[in-house]
Amino acid sequence: MRKRSRLSHFNIASLALGLGFLYLPILILVIYSFNASRLVTVWGGWSLRWYHEFFGDRAMIEAAWMSLKVAASSASIATLLGTLAAVALSRGERFGGRTLFSGMLYAPLVMPEVITGLSLLLLFVALNAERGFWTVTIAHTTLTMCFVAVVVQSRLGSLDRSLEEAAMDLGCDPVRAFVAVTLPLIAPAIIAGWMLAFTLSLDDLVIASFTTGPGSATLPIRIYSEVRLGVKPEINAICTLVIGLIAIVIVIASLASKLSSAQGESAAPL
């Protein structure tokens, strides 16, 4: 009994240390975003001054808007393509080069971002594509598609194959069986994949800076260029807003996936 309680003290300590290591810097950043002082490192009392400053900063707002647009569209395209790839890989007939294909799909997971960014830049230059919103969106799609595919494929793998067979046995052709049975059951994974893609895209600095063009800087690029000239307290405010946004999105996503598994009946297009 004593041994167990000592172990539990150790567990609490390590948990506190781990969480502190992860979240203390973020907590400090959030607190300092409400700092009234002009100096980042000196506490000057509570204030919303830097939030005012941010909403007055046209360039920053534009960069934030660009980031949201890129994240939403690249996440949507990546979810569509990644889901299709996952279905093809786990449900399709065993085609030649299947292993190679799945290996290639997952390569961006481990590929250094610099290489992905540089190769995409070379591609866009070779194609003579005008760099801007669409090039960043395409680049982020290639980055995040494999994450969606991994999430959806693992859900498909845990799904009983005979569910689809039962649907076909009861009168569905393969496509309708997928829509009526498989899709409602993998919907939580698809939603989770979209969220993951969205946050990854919102995060990304390296690939975006390779593939963006003049006048279409994303928020991370904008922040990075500001920081190079010295950290302004305004950056803290922006970061706090981004953290808040991501937290809200994740809470909504987990609620949605819980709801979709509980109320699958009405969601099922029968």
Partner 1 sequence: MAEELRKMEAAAGVADVATHPAPDQPLLRIEGVAKTFGTFRAVDGVSLDIRAGEFFALLGPSGCGKTTLLRMLAGFEAPDEGRILLGGKDIAHALPHERPINMMFQSYALFPHLSVRDNIAFGPKRAGMGRADIDTRVAEMMALVKLEGLEKRKPDQLSGGQRQRVALARALARRPQLLLLDEPLAALDKKLRESTQGELMELQRRLGTTFIIVTHDQEEAMTMASRIGVMNAGKLAQVASPRELYEAPRSRWIAEFVGDVNLFDGEFKLRDGHRLVIATRDAGTLVVAEPREPTDGTRLSVAIRPEKVKLSRLGPVSEAGHETAINRLDGMVADICYLGGSTVYKVKLDTGGIVQASVANSARLDADAYSLNQHVVAWFTPDDCVVLPP
> Which residues of the chain form contacts with partner 1 (CB under 8 A)?
160, 162-163, 165-174, 176, 180-181, 184-185, 261, 264-265, 267-268, 270
**Closer residue to partner 1, CB minimum distance, 111 or 180:** 180
202: closest CA among 242, 257, 155, 156?
A: 242
**Closer residue to partner 1, CB minimum distance, 145 or 181:** 181
**Closer residue to partner 1, CB minimum distance, 130 or 165:** 165
Are residues 202 and 241 in contact, defined by beta-carbon separation less than 8 angstroms? no
**Closer residue to partner 1, CB minimum distance, 80 or 168:** 168
Residue 127 burial (C-beta neighbours within 10 Å; 0-12, 13-18, 19+): exposed
**Closer residue to partner 1, CB minimum distance, 230 or 269:** 269
Are residues 184 and 112 in contact, defined by beta-carbon separation less than 8 angstroms? no
The answer for residues whose C-beta is within 8 angstroms of residue 60's C-beta and 6 or more apart is 54, 219, 222, 234, 238
| Chain centroid offset of residue 252 CA | 14
Phi and psi based region of residue 173 (left: phi greater than 0; alpha: psi -120 to 50; beta: remaining) = beta
Task: Compute the least distance from the CB of residue 91 to partner 1, in Å.
Answer: 13
